[in-house]
Structure 1
Amino acid sequence: MTHRIRAATPGDLQALYEMAKLTGGGFTNLPPDRKALITKLEKSAAAFTRDDDEPADDLFVFVLENVATGEVRGTCQVFAMVGQKWPFYSYRIGALTQHSEELGRTFRADILNLSTDLEGASEVGGLFLHPGERAGGLGMLIARSRYLFIRNHRARFADRTLAELRGVIDEAGGSPFWDGVAGRFFGMSFQEADEFNAKYGNQFIADLMPKHPVYIAMLSEHARSVIGKPHPSGRAAMRMLEDEGFAWENYVDIFDGGPTMTARTDQIRSVREAVESPVARIDPSLCEGQGDKRLVSAGRLAGFRAAYGWVQSGEDGVAIDPACAAALGVAEGDSITHVARW
């Protein structure tokens, strides 16, 4: 296998920074700011080092590495429990129905309600794949490896998992939703607010965001049209989340109005369907027709690895191909976790 997922290290800073510059804005979890990225890597290192099973405000950063060249070509993140340092705000779309006897009419108004309902949930996010690598199922490898990590460290994660999808950003880098809602209260552009949030957290939202409901009908048509819509580049990610069992339950991001998807952690498809097996043998003859192409992981915490591999089940365990075994660093007798490749 040519690529694997592994824990990020301080040596990955430059590669992460270069990828961050390619995101095009609105990507809070991967800011093009070295100081912010260093802070993320330090927090991730602390999370990987902590070896107890108590849930905490952990961040795990992973990278996609070309095994042959050592190049880092993608990244993703897992937050064990959001809303522990700062409140985790979302808008939830609700409704208010009122009836007038005199007019003989009933009015239904859709409303944005500021909410911290999702505090304490785990989050999968920060997924970015280098534009030159968007083929061969590598996006799926990055996305689904997170669920195998959660499964293999289940006690450290919540019973609910969320994923925030980037909302619609215009050609100038602005957000119609931000301009129509929060931007009116903050005196800063979307790009300025997004950058500030990425560097310093969202406490400024708690300080300045109006707490009263926002009637959607009072927003501009442009702002209304993007509520709950993912950025065009995020549509494939939304489909992958739906395939895993995530659903949109009317939560949207307070910055750009993008959809926040949620799922019960144990019902995420990759978590639910993955199995653990001992490696009975490493078989050079394994290939298409003699085994199943599966997503395979091994290792704990900083030793976690994930890659695609050929797997063949037997009475005494499974056989895997040598390239997968090398990418994961496993030998006969070691244990792997694996799930079907869709």
Structure 2
Amino acid sequence: MLVLRPVELADLPQLQRLARESLVGVTSLPDDYEQLHEKIRQSCASFEKNVQSPGQENYFFVLEDPAEQRLLGCSEILATAGFNEPFYSLRNRPFTSASRELNIEHGVPTLSLCQDLSGHTLLRGFHIDKSLERTPHSELLSRARLLFIAAHTQRFAAAVITEIVGYSNDEGHSPFWDAIGKHFFDLPYVEAERLCGLESRSFLAELMPHYPLYVPMLPQAAQDCIGQIHPDGQEAFDILEREGFETNSYVDLFDAGPTLFARTLTIRSIVQSTSGLVRPGTCIDARGHYLVSNDSLKNYRAIVAELDYTAGQPVILDAAMCSALKATEGSEIRLIPL
């Protein structure tokens, strides 16, 4: 049974292995010992902190096979994007020009550097072992973060966003970066993303043009990248789209991947998850697969379980499930069907 739990300092060596395997563009998972150590330290402090409103906290989760003591994935929640430094995006909206004399009005799509999305909660760092792609454990790794938000709403903003990795080819070239960013930094796309993970996206973003970029003036290959998803990022997109997230007018400033947005209290796993009390026992007639979590903070746990559950009745969990969730008889848990 795989378990999602908060990261610990002992996870550092395995987390660095996951970082080496992660998709180019997942800048929140840098392959750097010191950076990952600091990220883990900050996450541990966030889980310990008494929070009444969202701030600079980041909550880092890992997906573990306890039997083999092996990490198979990770994901993260940043309570407030742009809390410590600007959170830059590209706003994709038309610029309208008009001439009364000629009776002409014309709209041209433009990309403008902005900080509009600062203040929202940010989902990031999603990475799962290839053997688990398109399985219920991908749902667990992504959606258990939403169950955590549901249990601790005061720690998060009224809206949630996530950036989906945009298109780059097998050699790591991004046509969008080549058309724009490469003119301001003599860096390939892969190196720019690596620096963002190690340092900060702000120092690169602040050197990007602050005036609108007219989309029709870009090469066609770059235009085609706007809002396009890297094939390896499609699953992350699909899971959150089913949760009620939608694309909006913002894209990533390096690869033009789409940004997903949802109001916190409209997200499926937050609104439709239910709470129940644990009754240890044996599931005689398990009828469905569920995501199940406890409502703890630093001892948060979540699993995929096959249950016979009736709303309003105790939730029967076997001994392995109780152990994985750190639950005993009468413990309150949260669940939602897969």
Do these two structures clear the TM 0.5 threshold for a shared fold by scoring above it? Answer: yes
Aligned-pair CA distance for 1:134: 2.4
Worse-superposed segment, 247-256 or 198-207 = 198-207
Give distance in 2, aligned partners of 1:111 and 1:225.
Answer: 14
Tell me the residue number matched to 1:196: 195
Q: Which residue of 1 aligns with 2:146?
A: 147
Letter of the aligned partner of 1:325 in structure 2?
C
2:274 corresponds to which residue? Answer: 275
C-alpha spacing 1:329/1:84, structure 2 compared with 1 (3 Å): same
Offset of residue 202 of structure 1 = 2.0
Given that 1:91 and 1:114 are in contact with CA atoms closer than 8 Å, whether structure 2 keeps it comes out as: yes
C-alpha distance in 2, partners of 1:222/1:206?
22
Identity %: 33
Matched, 1:293 2:289: yes
**Unaligned ranges ≥5, structure 1:** none
CA distance in 2, matches of 1:132, 1:14: 20
Give the 5 Å matches for 1:248-327: 248-279=247-278, 281-289=279-287, 292-309=288-305, 310-313=307-310, 317-327=314-324
Contact 1:286–1:321 under 8 Å retained in 2: no
SS of residue paired to 1:35: helix
Query: Does structure 2 retain, via aligned residues, the 8 Å contact 1:293–1:311?
Result: no
SS of aligned partner of 1:239: helix
Question: Are the structure 2 counterparts of residues 273 and 181 from structure 1 closer, same or farther at C-alpha, using a change threshold of 3 Å?
Answer: same
Aligned length: 337
Q: Which one is further off, 330-339 or 320-329?
A: 320-329
1:206 deviation in Å? 4.7
CA gap 1:174/1:315 in 2 versus in 1, 3 angstroms: closer
Question: Given residue 70 of structure 1, which amino acid in structure 2 is its aligned partner?
Answer: Q
Q: TM-score, normalised by structure 1?
A: 0.94
Show the counterpart of 1:84: 83
Distance across 2 between alignment mates of 1:154 and 1:338: 16
* Structure 2 residue aligned with 1:20: 19
Q: What CA deviation, in whole Å up to 9, does each residue of 1:6-34 have, x standing for no partner?
A: 00101111111111111242110112122
1:93 counterpart = 2:89? no
Report the Cα distance in structure 1 between the residues aligned to 2:169 and 2:289, rounded to whole angstroms: 39
Deviation track 1:138-183 (CA, whole Å, cap 9, x = no partner) reads 1111011000011111001000100110000112212111111122
Kindly state the Cα deviation for residue 54 of structure 1 after the two structures are TM-superposed: 2.8
Q: What's the CA shift for 1:104?
A: 6.0
Q: Please give the secondary structure, in 1, of the residue aligned with 2:298.
A: helix
**Cα distance, 1:263–1:150 mapped onto 2, change above 3 Å:** same
Question: 2:243, 2:295 → 1: CA distance?
Answer: 23
Partners of 1:162 and 1:262 within 8 A in 2? yes
Distance 1:62 1:142 in 2: 8
Whole-Å Cα distance in 2 between the matches of residues 191 and 135 of structure 1?
A: 26
Counterpart CA distance in 2 for 1:171 and 1:288 is 43
Give, in angstroms, the shift of residue 313 of structure 1.
Answer: 3.0
Q: For structure 1, which segment, 140-149 or 166-175, has the greater mean C-alpha deviation from structure 2 after superposition? A: 166-175
The amino acid of 1:303's aligned partner reads: N
- Alpha carbons 1:26, 1:169 under 8 Å: kept: no
| Aligned counterparts, 1:110-259, within 5 A | 110-134=109-133, 136-259=135-258
For residues 307 and 24 of structure 1, what CA distance do their matches in structure 2 show? Answer: 25
Letter matched to residue 336 of structure 2: V
Structure-2 separation of matches of 1:136 and 1:283: 26
Q: Structure 1 CA distance, aligned partners of 2:274 and 2:283?
A: 23
With 253-262 and 295-304 compared, the bigger mean Cα shift is at 295-304
Task: Tell me which amino acid in the other structure corresponds to 1:71.
Answer: R
Distance in 1, matches of 2:160 and 2:273, equals: 17
The CA deviation string for residues 238-275 of structure 1, in whole angstroms up to 9 with x for no partner, is 12111101011121001111001000011110000011
Partner amino acid, structure 1, of 2:51: D
**Cα 1:315–1:113 shift into 2, 3 Å:** closer
Residues 311, 321 of structure 1: 8 Å contact kept: no
Which is worse superposed, 332-341 or 97-106? Answer: 97-106
Bigger drift between 254-263 and 44-53 goes to: 44-53
CA contact (8 A) 1:21 1:32 kept: yes
Tell me how far 1:48 sits from its aligned partner.
0.9
Q: Partners in 2 of 1:18 and 1:80 — Cα distance? A: 25
Distance verdict in 2 for CA 1:106–1:233, change over 3 Å: same
For structure 2, list consecutive stretches of 5 or more residues without a partner in the other structure: none
What displacement does 1:68 show?
2.2
TM-score using structure 2 length: 0.95
Secondary structure of the residue aligned to 1:303 is coil
